[in-house]
Amino acid sequence: YTFTHAITRKPGASVVNGLRAVDTGTPDLDLFLGHYADYVAALKSTGATVIELDPLEEFPDSVFVEDAALCLPEAAIVMRPGTPSRLGEAAVMAPVLKEVYGDVTIIEGDGFIDGGDILTTEREILVGTSARTDSKGVAALRDIVSQWGYTLREVATPEGVLHFKTDCSLLDENTILATRRLATSGALDGYDIIHTADGEEACANAIRFNELVLMPDGFPKTEAKLLEAGYNVRKIGNTEAGKLDGGMSCLSLRF
Query: In terms of CB distance, is 240 or 245 closer to ligand CIR?
Result: 245
Q: Which of 16-22's residues contact partners 24+ apart within 8 Å by CB, and which partners?
A: 16/60, 17/60, 18/60, 18/61, 18/63, 18/244, 18/246, 19/60, 19/61, 19/83, 19/85, 19/86, 19/244, 19/245, 20/243, 20/244, 20/245, 21/162, 21/245
Output the CA angle 249-146-138, nearest 5 degrees: 55
Query: In terms of CB distance, is 106 or 131 closer to ligand CIR?
Result: 131
> What is the binding site for ligand CIR (CB under 6 A)?
18-20, 61, 64, 66-67, 86, 116, 162-163, 165-166, 244-246, 249-250
203 is catalytic: no
Query: In terms of CB distance, is 85 or 135 closer to ligand CIR?
Result: 85
Q: Which of 163, 168, 195, 203 is catalytic?
A: 163
Q: Measured from the CB of residue 145, what is the shortest distance to ligand CIR in angstroms?
A: 19
Q: Measured from the CB of residue 177, what is the shortest distance to ligand CIR in angstroms?
A: 15
71 is catalytic: no
Query: In terms of CB distance, is 27 or 222 closer to ligand CIR?
Result: 27
Q: Measured from the CB of residue 33, what is the shortest distance to ligand CIR in angstroms?
A: 17
Residue with smallest beta-carbon separation from ligand CIR: 116
Q: Measured from the CB of residue 251, what is the shortest distance to ligand CIR in angstroms?
A: 8
Q: Which amino acid is at 10?
A: K
> Which residues are tagged catalytic?
163, 250
